[in-house]
Structure formats: structure tokens, C-alpha cells
Structure 1
Amino acid sequence: MAEQSVLLLVLHDVAPCTWRSYLPFVAAVDALGSVAMTWLVVPDFHQRNPLDNDPALLDFLDTRLARGDELVLHGYQHCDTGPPPRHAADFLMRRVYTREGEFYSLSHDQASMRLDAGIGVFQRHAWPLHGFVAPAWLMSPGTRLALRERPLSYTSSPHHLYRLPDFTALRAPGLVWSARSAWRRGASWVFNRWQETQWRQAQVIRLGLHPVDMHHELARRYWLAALQRLLEQGRVAQTKYVWLSAQISASVSQ
């Protein structure tokens, strides 16, 4: 039997200050039919946006869960509050590549505290939790060790999902935009269209959206058109955990 082709629609950086940016796009997606989404939720975005301060967002996420969507723990603060980088490599990763690599330099104890705090938020709201995604997908060795010790099923990088606790890699290539300037948006459109053709035979493709994408018409139009193209090609929209569970079941039955 041929393996089912899947797409994973993933909305990053969900927080009180960002989630409304997604609403017009989400309404357009909902109009297409039953398209499952995975929401990457930040418990206290930039240390000034606690989820509990936005009852409307909490109600909205409850509604999305009831529709069959998935909520994922996406860091805790989504900002790098560590000491200034002391080496060139660290400077490039923490100041040039991103300033939001929250888990890039954390010790095991620091990562454990933030993971437990985030898990506690999900437990308090009775939200099922299976996955953790580090901001910018950056994880220190201490973070990786802490993840092995927690009751989570998976984490991810730009091109893989990793089963926990052993970090077994499952290829899951992802499309993502850099939308903060006009030239980056133009380059993102060209590069992502090329990647779509390169990955046409891939069993799964991730669409990784960010709130900033929603502020630019070119990016919004691309994401909705890409989603429609992939659905028309016969791909089925699933959440990350549903897809991962299918992979685990298939490996057990072999």
C-alpha cells in the first residue's frame, strides 16, 4: 500500500500579542474544509505576555482543540535572556541568526525549570501536550538532556521531527519565510516555490508560518496558495502528533 502524503500546517509564536494576526488566514483555511493545524504556544512571550492575561486567546485555543488541532509548547519566553555571547560562534547564533534562541545556551537545570513551567501551564488548562519546539529550533545539550527526562513525545528541527526520549530522527522538510524586508519576501517566494517542486515526492511537508508573515500580502497569498496546491496534489492535513503516531504504528507493524 502506498504511503499517504501529508502536510503539516504549523503556526509559530502564538501569544497574546500575536494570535489575532493569524485570524484572517485561519478563517480562509477553515473555509477550505477540515484542515488540521498545529499551534506553537509561548506561555510568556518576551516576559510580558502571559497566556492567562488573555482569556479570549485561552477560549480560542480551547475551540481549536475541539476542532482537532494540536497545541505544542514553544519555549517559555521566546527570548534569549542569557549572558552576552563571549565567542564568535555564539555571537553569530545569538545575535545574527536570531535573538530569540531561548534554549540555545541553557544549562540542564535552567532548561528543566522552563520546560516544567511550560508543562505546568498546559496542565493547568487541561491541554494535551505531546511536543516541544525550541524557539528558532535551537537547543543546548542541557536542553536535549532535559527533554529526554520529560513525558513528551517529540521535538523538531527545520527538517526533522525527533521522537523522544531517544531523538530518533524522522525526515519532515519544512517551508518557512523570511518576511521582515521586501527583498527577503521576494527571495522567500522564489525559494519556497522551488522547494515545493523539490519535495513533491516527500511523504510529509511542513508549512511553518510566523505572525510577521501575516502582515504582508505576498506572504499571506503564498501560504494560502501553497496550502491549496498541496491539498490538490492529494496531501492530507494532519497535526504533528497524529503524523508521528502513524509513523510509530507503521514501524511497529513492520
Structure 2
Amino acid sequence: MNAPSLLLVLHDVAPPTWVDYQPFVEAVDALGTVPITWLVVPDFHKCNALQAHPEFRHRLDKRLARGDELALHGYFHCDDGPMASNPRDWFMRRIYTHEGEFYSLSREAALTRLRAGIEMFHRYQWPLQGFVAPAWLMSEGTRQALRQLPLAYTSDAQHLYRLPDFSTVDAPGLVWSARSAWRRGLSKLVSDQLEQRWRQAPVIRLGLHPVDMRHEFSRTYWLNTLRRLLDEGRVPMTKAHWLALQGDRRDRAA
């Protein structure tokens, strides 16, 4: 029997969000070897280009040396497209999130941003296998663009997708909405129920956001959940490593 796995994923990684993540990351490091997947934004909100932050880039270099993974997470992580033209798109882009950068992009626009992100990873000699769209929102144009690029996977909240064919791999994930006290309370109730449902799941993803780290209630939940899943025998690994193992097992079974 293969041991069940655990994937710890930090979203919205950028120079201004490091102050949120730092205490949590230090607590995780104190637990032992727990690889982390960092979803890196090249120019967060168009005013935090990594080019201008060599110390932060050096910190990411050191995380890679520890065995962590860096994945591309949008380019600007903000929705700068024209105003939505129908109620559904307006809800998704203005109520659900203001950061669905790839929700409405054409194939050409998505290719431009994706290629710029890939080039940045190459410039800093960071291995790159995965792309995750902000808020997991991707237009059909984005999906078409991803089929043309040398990336191994993308994901949404509950699945990983092998590229370029978008074959689906179940990978259930816990994620919070932590912007207000009632959202945090509801998120914990839902997460507790999902964790029980997924006790036998081969893998569980923990998808953390900077806002989770700004509140003791949510920050404590994530650290306690991580400890508990590790104590239950789940093996921590990066998304890319776990997905590669699934491919190896699939090949052996063929």
C-alpha cells in the first residue's frame, strides 16, 4: 500500500506577502522536512516585480535548495480586463474575486503573459512545471494557450490536470475564505467535514492564502491541520513530485 500524501501550497507568493507567510513558514520548517509548493506571482498587482527584489528572489532560491517547488501563479494577479458584459461574468470578476486575471483572456493575451512568466523563471534558473491561475479561473483561451507551452500541469480547487491534454487527476483540497470572522468560522466547519470525508483519500492539498495568515484563528487551524495530517502518516511532498509519482505508477500498471 502506498502511504497517503499531503501537499502544502502557498498562494499569492510575492514580496509584500512574505511578511504574512514568514512566521507560518518558520513554524512549518520547525516540524522537519515538509516540502512546500510556492505559487509565485511575477509582478503582484503590477507594482511588485520580482526583478526589483533580489533579496526575495534569493529567499526563493534557498527554498528550492531545501526541496520546495516554485510554480507560476498568473503574472499580475489582478483582473485588468474590460468590464464584464453579462451578470455571470460580473459576479465572478467583481463579487467572487477581483483577481481572476486569466478568467477572460484570449489565447493570444494568455500566451503573452504565460510566456513572460516562463521567461522569468528561466532567467532566474528556477525549474518550472506548473501553472495555477489566480482564483483557479481560466478562460478557454487560457486553456488553449497552455496546450502550446512546455508545462507539466495546471490545477483547480479539487484536481490537477496534466498538460497538454488536460487529463484529470483527483487531488482534493482544503481552502478558506478568511476575509471576515463569519467566513473564517464557516470555512472551519466546512473544512472539518471535508477532512473527515477525505480521510482515505490518496492525497489532500492544503491551499493557503496570505489573508489566512493575518488571523490567529485561521493561522492556527492550518498549522494544527498540517501537524495532524503528518501525525496520521501522510507524506508531505510538492505538487510536481506527487504528480510525477502518479505517472510512474500509471506506467507500471500499463
Q: TM-score, normalised by structure 2?
A: 0.99
Count how many residue pairs are aligned between Structure 1 and Structure 2.
253
Whole-Å Cα distance in 1 between the matches of residues 225 and 216 of structure 2? 14
Deviation at 1:20, TM superposition (A): 2.2
Q: Which amino acid aligns with 1:16?
A: P
Whole-Å Cα distance in 1 between the matches of residues 251 and 7 of structure 2? 22
Q: Per the alignment, in what secondary structure is the counterpart of residue 128 of structure 2?
A: coil
1:19 aligns with: 18
2:217 aligns with: 218
1:206 aligns with: 205
Where structure 1 has 5 or more consecutive residues not aligned to the other structure, the ranges are none
Q: Which amino acid aligns with 1:61?
A: L
Deviation at 1:48, TM superposition (A): 0.6
Whole-Å Cα distance in 2 between the matches of residues 109 and 191 of structure 1? 38
2:92 aligns with: 93
Whole-Å Cα distance in 2 between the matches of residues 16 and 53 of structure 1? 10
1:62 aligns with: 61
Question: How big is the alpha-carbon RMSD for the aligned residues of Structure 1 and Structure 2?
Answer: 0.6
Q: Per the alignment, in what secondary structure is the counterpart of residue 63 of structure 1?
A: helix
Query: 2:51 matched to 1:52?
Result: yes
2:163 aligns with: 164
Deviation at 1:191, TM superposition (A): 1.2
Pairing of 1:34-183 with structure 2 (within 5 A): 34-183=33-182
Whole-Å Cα distance in 1 between the matches of residues 5 and 248 of structure 2? 16
Q: TM-score, normalised by structure 1?
A: 0.99
Where structure 2 has 5 or more consecutive residues not aligned to the other structure, the ranges are none
Deviation at 1:92, TM superposition (A): 1.2
Q: Per the alignment, in what secondary structure is the counterpart of residue 207 of structure 1?
A: strand
1:191 aligns with: 190
After superposition, the C-alpha distances for 1:17-68 in whole angstroms (9 at most, x for unaligned) are: 1122111101111010000000000000111110111122101000000000
Query: What percentage of aligned pairs have identical amino acids?
Result: 62
